[in-house]
Amino acid sequence: MTVFAFESGDADNPLAGLSADEVARLPFGALELAADGKILAYNDTEPDETGESRPSVVGRGFFADVARWAGGSMVAGEFRKGVAAGSLNVVFDCAVAGLAYKVRLHLKVSPILGTYWLFIKRLRRAAAAA
């Protein structure tokens, strides 16, 4: 198992060396964003109800087109602040309308590439202790 460590002082983005196919196989959602929020690369960890792949979202605005629920939220606000400061490393746990589960979002700068990563992980309830 490969462990991806993301720390505030991480000057080397371990995802930068992955091919598009390797990014597609990550066990969590990963989107690479430009400073304006446009999607540069992503993996689709959630097929639609038919099991089919969805159309590519590369080139679309994450906050404006793909995840409009996040566009007016503090998630987008923190993204903009991080872009302006050139430093971004923030985590949110979110309940999203229409999803039966909560998600954890981690926004992270890639200082070498000048891009930003958004990692999305589905949160699961821990089993109750007997």
- Whether the CB-CB separation of 51 and 67 falls below 8 Å is answered with no
Alpha carbon 32 to its chain centroid, in Å, reads 7
pLDDT above 90 covers a percentage of the chain that reads 18
Query: What pLDDT is attached to residue 81?
Result: 94
- Per-residue pLDDT band for 61 (boundaries 50, 70, 90) equals very high
Query: What pLDDT is attached to residue 130?
Result: 52
Question: What Cα–Cα distance (Å) separates residue 99 from each residue in 50, 90, 102, 122, 123?
Answer: 17, 22, 7, 10, 11
Highest mean pLDDT among 17-21, 49-53, 94-98, 114-118: 114-118
Nearest Cα to 67, choosing from 39, 47, 48? 39
- Per-residue pLDDT band for 105 (boundaries 50, 70, 90) equals confident
pTM over 0.85: no
Domain 14-122 has CATH 3.40.190.10: no
37-48 pLDDT, tens digit each? 999 988 866 555
Query: What pLDDT is attached to residue 1?
Result: 41
Alpha-helix runs per DSSP H in the chain: 20-24, 68-71, 74-85
- Per-residue pLDDT band for 13 (boundaries 50, 70, 90) equals low
CA distance 130 to 125: 15
